[in-house]
């Protein structure tokens, strides 16, 4: 299958999953994850009409993004080391991986210095897997939200998680339901803000994520083929 066909096939699956769960497919945004995909591959996806992409590593983003059209919306979706935050303003407009308190003020300072704002999601570790980043304490995540909303350069838009690596569907659902509950708590705590983004679901589990309420999915390999790790 060509990329064009994979994009169409993904759209069909998103639509079917949305319909199954009584939701409109229009409320589900797709962030095409391009980590390890060379610039030519991303350009091809752009030519298929995709405009929202996600990169996982800052260094790779720094190398690739300037070579691509500037009407792309870029999301940083991977763990950001503190000393890499300075590269992000002007490069990405979203950081989905706000996974610890100390990155919050660093983002605010770097984006604020450039007079920019960045859309952010709080990343929860909903699987309990120690290899995963993200807040594992809900109380800490709520405290982080409280800090973010005080900062002008940061706009809190919602929450993100990576589902557990398992074939066990009910474990995956439980993780996504946990994120959804946290997301709804944010919405009621900050009802005056635009908390509208529940980012969950990758190539292997995006249909479950949609059924559990995802408004944003992050497929990579289903579009670009398997990665060598
Ligand atoms: C790699 C990655 C994805 C995409 O994974 P696939 O399984 O290739 O769809 C999505 N989200 C995050 C945070 C990732 O690191």
Q: For residue 113, what pLDDT is reported?
A: 98
Q: Hey, is 98 helix, strand or coil? A: strand
Q: Which residue carries 């979706």 as its tokens?
A: 77
Report CA(76)–ligand 1 centroid distance (Å): 11
Q: Among residues 186, 188, 64, which one has the least CA distance to residue 135?
A: 186
| Average pLDDT along the chain | 97
C-alpha distance from residue 101 to each of 107, 108, 145, 147, 208 (Å)? 11, 12, 9, 9, 29
In the predicted model, what is the mean pLDDT of residues 40-59? 98
Confidence (pLDDT) at 128: 87
Q: What integer pLDDT is reported at residue 129 of this predicted model?
A: 87
The atom number, within ligand 1, closest to the CA of 77 reads 13
DSSP per-residue string spanning 138-166: HHHHHHHHHHHTT-TTEEEEEEEE---SS
State the architecture of 3-223 in CATH terms. Alpha-Beta Barrel (3.20)
For 126-149, write each residue's pLDDT tens digit: 988 888 899 999 999 999 999 999
Residue range 56-78: average pLDDT?
Answer: 98
Is pTM beyond 0.85? Reply is: yes
Tell me the average pLDDT across 18-40: 96
Domain boundaries, the chain: 3-223
Residue 76, strand partner residues: 55, 95
Out of 126, 202, 219, mutate this one to test ligand 1's pocket (max ligand atoms within 8 Å of CB): namely 202
pLDDT of 199 higher than 80: yes
> CA-based diameter of the chain, in Å?
47
pLDDT greater than 80 at residue 19: yes
Note the pLDDT of residue 130. 86
Proportion of the chain above pLDDT 70, given as a percent: 100
- Whether the per-residue pLDDT at 228 is higher than 80: the answer is no
Q: Whose CA is nearest to atom 12 of ligand 1?
A: 77
Task: With a cut of 70, say whether residue 74 has pLDDT above it.
Answer: yes
- Average pLDDT of span 148-172: 97
Percent of the chain with pLDDT over 90: 96
Q: Residue 134 Cα, ligand 1 centroid: separation in angstroms? A: 15
pLDDT band at 229 (very low <50, low <70, confident <90, very high): low
pLDDT tens, 189-198?
999 999 999 9
Distance 204 CA to ligand 1 centre (A): 9
pLDDT at 1: 81
Which residue is closest in CA terms to ligand 1's atom 4?
220
Distance from residue 171's CA to the centre of ligand 1 (Å): 18
Average pLDDT score over residue span 109-124: 98
Measured between alpha carbons, how far is residue 211 from residues 14, 52, 157, 228 in Å? 10, 22, 20, 29
For ligand 1, mutation pick of 6, 32, 33, 207 (most atoms within 8 Å of CB): 33
């Amino acid at each position: 299958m060509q990329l064009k066909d994979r994009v169409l096939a993904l759209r069909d699956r998103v639509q079917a999953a949305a319909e199954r769960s009584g939701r409109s497919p229009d409320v589900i945004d797709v962030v095409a994850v391009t980590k390890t995909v060379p610039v030519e591959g991303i350009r091809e996806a752009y030519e298929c009409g995709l405009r929202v992409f996600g990169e996982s590593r800052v260094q790779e983003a720094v190398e690739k993004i300037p070579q691509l059209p500037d009407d792309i919306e870029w999301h940083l979706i991977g763990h950001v080391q503190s000393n890499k935050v300075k590269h992000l303003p002007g490069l990405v407009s979203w950081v989905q991986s706000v996974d610890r308190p100390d990155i919050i003020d660093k983002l605010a300072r770097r984006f604020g210095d450039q007079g920019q704002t960045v859309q952010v999601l709080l990343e929860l570790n909903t699987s309990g897997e120690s290899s995963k980043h993200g807040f594992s304490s809900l109380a800490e995540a709520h405290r982080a939200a409280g800090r973010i909303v005080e900062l002008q350069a940061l706009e809190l838009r919602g929450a993100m998680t990576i589902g557990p690596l398992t074939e066990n569907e009910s474990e995956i659902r439980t993780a996504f339901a946990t994120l959804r509950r946290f997301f709804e708590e944010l919405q009621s705590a900050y009802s005056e803000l635009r908390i509208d983004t529940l980012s969950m679901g990758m190539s292997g589990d995006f249909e479950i994520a949609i059924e559990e309420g995802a408004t944003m999915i992050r497929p990579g390999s289903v579009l670009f083929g398997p990665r060598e790790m």
